[in-house]
Amino acid sequence: MSDLFLTLLHDGMKDKHQKHVTTSLTLIDVHDIARSCRTFEVKKFFIAHSSAAMRSFARTLKRHWTQGYGSSYNPDRKEAFSRTEIVPAFNEVLHLIELETGLRPITIATSALPGGTRISFSEARELRSTSQNPLLLMFGTGWGMAEELISQADYFLEPIQGCGDYNHLSVRSAAAIILDRLSSS
């Protein structure tokens, strides 16, 4: 099985009026996605944000859990955060994975919205079991990734469907479900 990486993106997002925006960092997403990533053996969780202030905020949180009081209060959280990296841009995520693995990652965008050419969960699992290259799952924030960002990805994963016509999962819930689906046979 190829290595799995995950990134939480904030630039190139849409707001509720479909305007292109940069979203704020949401601490609960960072906490919960870090824990899900550790649970499903994701090699690294990259938080990408163009704002130096937001990156500094994320680093303060990481420091608290990996070196500060949090590291002895909750060593499980320390372990989750030790695999978290904070970077200024999506391109930097690609570059760091290539440096670490020697291979370009295969990028897979996610969205709740229907449409576009999508791969199924089983095709993504197949890709994971046959590819040499690492896989990078891309998650959005706000009202999701702008089309320009989605079109940069190698693949676009089918959405998680709810049981009715309401489909508004948080990114942390969607990430946990998708990690489970890509990890189970």
| Residues 128-147 interacting with ligand SAM (rule: CB under 6 A) | 139-141, 143-145
Distances (CA, A) of 100 to 8, 128, 143, 167: 19, 18, 31, 36
Find out whether 138 and 144 touch, Cβ atoms under 8 Å: no
Which residue, 75 or 114, is less far from ligand SAM as judged by CB? Answer: 114
Smallest separation (angstroms) from ligand SAM to the CB of 124: 12
| Residues 70-109 interacting with ligand SAM (rule: CB under 6 A) | none
Quick one: which of 4, 6, 50, 1 has its CA closest to 175? 6
Query: Using CB atoms, what's the residue nearest to ligand SAM?
Result: 144
How many C-beta neighbours within 10 Å does residue 168 have?
Answer: 7
Which residue, 84 or 110, is less far from ligand SAM as judged by CB? Answer: 110
Which class for 110: exposed (0-12), middle (13-18), buried (19 or more C-beta within 10 A)?
buried
Smallest separation (angstroms) from ligand SAM to the CB of 100: 23
Which residue, 105 or 140, is less far from ligand SAM as judged by CB? Answer: 140
Residues 6 or more apart in contact with residue 68 via CB below 8 angstroms: none
Residues 6 or more apart in contact with residue 102 via CB below 8 angstroms: none
Quick one: which of 71, 92, 91 has its CA closest to 82? 71
Using CB under 6 A as the binding rule, whether residue 150 contacts ligand SAM is answered as no
Contacting residue, 171, 176, 179, 182, with ligand SAM by CB under 6 A: 171
Contacting residue, 101, 169, 181, 183, with ligand SAM by CB under 6 A: 169
Site residues (vs ligand SAM, CB under 6 A): 110-113, 139-141, 143-145, 159-160, 167, 169, 171, 174
